[in-house]
Every structure is written in C-alpha cells, then in structure tokens.
Amino acid sequence: MSKAVVPTPPQRVVVAEENEELLERVTLSEMIWDENTIMGNVSDKITGKPVEGVCIKVCDNDYKPIVYNFTDVDGNFTLQAPFTSAVRIIAAKKGYTTFSSEAIPSATLEKKALNLELIAAPNGGIVFFGNVRDVQQKPLGSIKVTLYRSNSLNPYDFTFTNNDGIYVFDNIEPGAYRLAFQSQFYTERSLTLEVGRDQPIVTLEVVYLRKKTLKGTIHGIITDRNGAPVKNALVILCNANLVPIQTTYTNEKGVYLFYRLEQGTYTVMAK
C-alpha cells in the first residue's frame, strides 16, 4: 500500500492557442491518522491479487475481541477502536487458511499499512456430520464409526463419537459409502449413502443404537491337592438340573472360561 496522502483541491485551467498557464505550486500533505486506527491490505500469497470479503478481527494479547471488519473489493480494510498496548490480528475467508499473528505492539502499527497474505486452503473434500443416540435420545459417546467404500470390506476411515454423540469425517470423495457403528454395549448398526460433488457438507440422519443384552461368563482355576495348576483338565458346565451344556479344557495355568451364558444357576465339574 502506498503512503496515504490527502487529495489536493481541484484547480481550473484553460489552455488556448499560444497561451500557457502556469499552475500554482501543488503541495501534497500527509493524511492525519487516528492513533486508534489500523489500516491494511489482504492479498493472495500465490497470485498477489487482492482478496475481497476477508474478515479481519483484532484481539488483545489474550485473544479477547476488540473490533472486526471486512476487506473491500481492493482487499483494503480499516479498523478503528481503542486498542490495547499489544494486539493480535486474525484474518479468515472461506477457501483460505486462517491467518493469526503473534502479539504486535499497537505503536508499531500507527501510520503504517498492515499487509497480509492468505494461503489457499487445500481441498478438504466432502464433510460427513452425524449423531449417535440411544433409543431414549441420550447422546452416545465413544461409539466407533467405521467408513467403508460401497461394497468394500476394507475400512476407508474410522473415528469415534464425542460426549455429545457427534462424529465427523472430512476429505471424502463423491461416491457410495457404508457406515458401521460398533460398541461393546450396543448392538451394531450400518448406514448406506451416496454423495455427489454438489454436497460439500452432508448431515446424516441420527443413528439410534439399542443396548445389548449381555451374556454372562464363568471362569476359574483347576489345581491339584498341592495347589499346582492342572493343565488339560476337563471342565464340564451343567445347568441347575445337572445337565451338561458346555465343556472345555484348562490351559497350562489351569484356567478355564465359559461365556455367552444366560442368567441362571450353574454347576461346574472337573476331571
């Protein structure tokens, strides 16, 4: 940005044949800047062209907001406010990476143009935004959400829901996808969808999960009379009527485990 000056008053002059008029001396005077004014320009770092519609926000050293404005068609901006001794500048526009400065002493910005350059943001692709809840509408956190390409069995990406049950995928290409929702305590669900290039943000339907009816487990250790573990001991699980329903063998540490058991009374026998 060139040095700011005040335009001179207009002077009328007539040039006729064999006549030359001498204009009086013209003196340019500097613009009087308000000490509480910050002016500047924003341009594209690659093309050098001015960027219109950039939100310029001035904060104090602790990022508390002071004032904001937008650049004009030439990328210029003016901000007026009672600034603190040190300020931070934030500049943002869709399609560009957000700019944020270090703390700048306000005195260094007086009577100077603040020239900023914005870098074009990489193409983030399509964004999936979704929500997972239980059947009572309670948000479910820590639900694993796996994204697959249409009929592929190989995960394309995965994430987890936050405490509000929200999950987000970004950098997604157009196409058909399948989402799988998994949890230790809830039944698994899946969701299929197809997205095109005209959908930069896709808000997915709310997914409701039902709580699993968890089965029980029984485990133990088989030892001999001296307390030493018995390897490969046969262990039989019987129901309340002493009818065998499962069998297993102990490992080298004498440990056995029965699982997926309904509620009820059981008897364990070993040989």
**Beta-sheet pairing, 65-70 with 55-60:** antiparallel
Burial (CB count <10 Å: 0-12, 13-18, 19+), residue 254: buried
pLDDT given for residue 26 in this prediction: 55
Residue 139 exposure: Cα atoms within 13 Å on the Cβ side:
12
pLDDT given for residue 19 in this prediction: 57
CATH number of 5-118: 2.60.40.10
Element (H, E) at 130: strand 126-134
pLDDT given for residue 2 in this prediction: 44
Per-residue confidence of the chain (271 residues) as pLDDT tens digits? 444 544 556 666 565 565 555 555 655 555 454 567 888 999 999 999 999 999 999 999 999 999 999 999 999 999 988 888 899 999 999 888 999 999 999 888 766 788 999 998 776 688 999 999 999 999 999 999 999 998 888 999 999 999 999 999 988 888 999 999 999 889 999 999 998 877 788 999 999 999 887 678 999 999 998 999 999 999 999 998 989 999 999 999 999 999 888 888 999 998 8
What are the residue ranges of CATH 2.60.40.10 in the chain? 5-118, 126-209, 216-270
Burial (CB count <10 Å: 0-12, 13-18, 19+), residue 218: middle
pLDDT given for residue 8 in this prediction: 53
pLDDT given for residue 3 in this prediction: 47
Return the DSSP state at 237.
E
Return the DSSP state at 109.
G
Coil, strand or helix at 216 = strand
pLDDT given for residue 178 in this prediction: 94
Burial (CB count <10 Å: 0-12, 13-18, 19+), residue 108: exposed
> Contact 254/222 with Cβ under 8 angstroms?
yes
Phi, psi of 107 (to 5 degrees): -60, -30
CATH architecture of 126-209: Sandwich (2.60)
Q: Please give the structure tokens belonging to residue 176.
A: 């058909």
Q: How far is CA 40 from CA 45, 78, 86, 90, 212, in A?
A: 15, 7, 17, 13, 60
pLDDT given for residue 23 in this prediction: 53
| Secondary-structure class of domain 216-270 per CATH | mainly beta
